[in-house]
């Protein structure tokens, strides 16, 4: 019997929701790391018991936590008693340490001047598809780091910031690598997205990166129609069976690329608004995608107080509202960019969390929804593990 584990990062801790494949009866464990902001936690596809979590707050900074037993117990990698037996008494690992390679340099600041790169926190951890000890971290100020020792040490790929990083400028939410997509058919290819920075791709395992923004239009924010960087990409998604097809929720506009980001076209179609944050692809249907329209960049809640997921079964343009089981009046929550995920069961499960502390599950591809947690702190991230 399959098991589902939903990993929920919130403003005040992490929660783990578990159910069998029916996805009806859920158990909630947590809060883990109570009182801390958990931007993201995610399991390794290569070893589902290996989880990584990004724990941070404004007082004490960034902590990386790791579980090797599916979230029952957690440790800061590199700080167990066995790992402290180095000659000088100091630990070999420094799992909290994220230091930019070389001279950190500067990026564009709000007033148009240059501002030094400053590490703030890890927004997103993307475990390797094949090695439990390897993972990538997307951080604020925007950069990507990699660990190959299970989170004990992290090393930056500075090539990303060389992709015109001096022109990136923080948006209202900060300047972070918030999305990392690993190409399951080409281990050298990685995509990242940065709000108000853009979308980038490496084809050499992270050494060099290039903007992949042709076709994006951000006329109000970027008057230059040919601007390569600066586009406010909120989220990108792909289906593992055909990783050259990308979907994007931009600040405004839902976009699609059929050639690994070389060219994008708009597929917003009949959406009530094309502003939003998450975008996801159904595991069993690569042309079925989901977004949660949000009123506008000024009004971060659903239009008309109705929480509606929109589904397109045609890879965009033609969208239908999914409302059964979702509040259809007086609802003013947001759904953040990392707070939607899909499971891998035959009957596709779709999940998302809200800033109001609800986590919803649809066990039928979006046709109907159930709240599987209702009173959590504001949800920052949702990930799903399908345990077969």
- The footprint of other proteins (CB under 8 A) covers 34-36, 57-63, 76, 78-79, 84, 89-91, 93-94, 96-97, 99
Q: Are 291 and 279 in contact (CB under 8 A)?
A: yes
The nearer residue to other proteins, 81 or 225, going by C-beta atoms, is: 81
What token pair was written down for 125? 């951890």
Cβ proximity of 145 and 137 under 8 Å: yes
Contact 49, 30 (CB under 8 A): no
Strands 114-116 and 198-202: unpaired
Q: Residue 321 CA to chain centroid, in angstroms?
A: 23
Least Å distance between CB 96 and other proteins? 4
Assigned token pair, 255 = 């976009």
Shortest gap between Cβ of 38 and other proteins (angstroms)?
13
Minimum distance of other proteins from residue 84's CB (angstroms)? 7
In terms of Cβ atoms closer than 10 Å to its own Cβ (0-12, 13-18, 19+), residue 287 is: middle
Provide, rounded to whole angstroms, the least separation between the CB of residue 319 and other proteins. 38
Closer residue to other proteins in complex, CB, 91/261: 91
CB of 83 to other proteins, least distance (A): 8
Residue with tokens 């690992």: 93
Rank residues 82 and 224 by Cβ distance to other proteins and give the closer one.
Answer: 82
Least distance CB 210 / other proteins (angstroms): 30
Alpha-carbon gap, residue 203 to 187, rounded angstroms: 9
Dist. CA 296–CA 156, nearest whole Å: 34
Least distance (Å) between residue 57 CB and other proteins? 7
Q: Which residues of 166-175 are buried (b: 16+ CB within 10 A; e: fewer)?
A: eebbbbebeb
Q: Can you name the residues that pair with 272 across neighbouring β-strands? A: none
Instruction: State the Cα–Cα distance between residues 55 and 67, nearest whole angstrom.
Output: 13
Q: Which is nearer to other proteins, 91 or 278 (CB)?
A: 91
Contact 221, 198 (CB under 8 A): no
Residue number with CB closer to other proteins (120 or 313): 120
**Residue 157 CB, nearest approach to other proteins (Å):** 19
Closest approach of other proteins to the CB of residue 78, in Å: 7
Nearer residue to other proteins within complex by CB, 76 or 288: 76
**3-class state of residue 364 by DSSP:** coil
* Sign of torsion over alpha carbons 215, 221, 227, 231: negative
Minimum CB separation of residue 121 from other proteins in Å reads: 12
Please give the Cα distance from 191 to 136 (Å, whole number): 11
Which lies closer to other proteins via its Cβ, residue 35 or residue 205?
35
Between 59 and 220, CB nearer to other proteins: 59
Q: CB nearer to other proteins: give 97 or 217.
A: 97
And the tokens for 153?
Answer: 């040490």
Q: Of 148, 143, 125, 128, give the one whose Cα is nearest residue 188.
A: 128
Residue among 78 and 230 whose Cβ is closer to other proteins: 78
DSSP string of 327-346, one letter each residue: --SS------TB-EEE--SS
């Amino acid at each position: 019997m399959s098991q589902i584990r939903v990993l929920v990062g919130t403003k005040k801790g992490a929660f783990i929701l578990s159910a069998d494949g029916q996805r009806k009866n859920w158990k909630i464990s947590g809060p883990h790391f109570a009182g801390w902001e958990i931007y993201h936690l995610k399991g390794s596809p290569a070893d589902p018991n290996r989880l990584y979590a990004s724990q941070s707050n404004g007082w004490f900074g960034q902590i990386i936590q790791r579980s090797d037993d599916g979230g029952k117990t957690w440790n800061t990698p590199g700080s167990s008693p066995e790992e402290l037996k180095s000659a000088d008494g100091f630990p070999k690992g420094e799992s909290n340490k994220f230091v930019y390679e070389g001279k950190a340099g500067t990026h564009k600041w709000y007033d148009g001047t240059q501002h030094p790169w400053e590490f703030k926190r890890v927004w997103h951890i993307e475990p390797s598809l094949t090695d439990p000890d390897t993972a990538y971290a997307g951080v604020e100020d925007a950069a990507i780091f990699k660990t190959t020792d299970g989170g004990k040490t992290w090393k930056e790929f500075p090539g990303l910031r060389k992709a015109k990083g001096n022109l990136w400028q923080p948006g209202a939410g900060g300047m972070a690598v918030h999305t990392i997509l690993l190409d399951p058919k080409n281990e050298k290819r990685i995509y990242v997205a940065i709000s108000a920075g853009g979308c980038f791709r490496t084809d050499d395992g992270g050494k060099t990166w290039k903007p992949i923004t042709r076709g994006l239009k951000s006329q109000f924010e970027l008057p230059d129609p040919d601007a390569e960087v600066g586009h406010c990409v909120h989220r990108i998604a792909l289906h593992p069976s055909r990783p050259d097809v990308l979907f994007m929720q931009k600040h405004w506009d839902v976009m699609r690329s059929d050639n690994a980001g070389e060219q994008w076209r708009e597929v917003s179609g009949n959406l009530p608004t094309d502003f939003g944050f998450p975008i996801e692809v159904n595991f069993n249907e690569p042309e079925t995608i989901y977004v949660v329209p949000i009123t506008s960049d000024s009004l971060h809640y659903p239009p008309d107080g109705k929480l509606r997921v929109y589904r397109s079964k045609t890879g965009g343009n033609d969208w239908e509202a999914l409302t059964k089981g979702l509040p259809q009046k007086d609802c003013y929550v947001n759904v953040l960019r990392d707070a939607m995920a899909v499971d891998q069961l035959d009957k596709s499960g779709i999940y998302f969390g809200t800033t109001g502390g609800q986590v919803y599950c649809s066990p039928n591809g979006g046709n109907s929804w159930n709240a599987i947690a209702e009173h959590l702190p504001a949800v920052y991230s949702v990930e799903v593990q399908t345990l077969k």
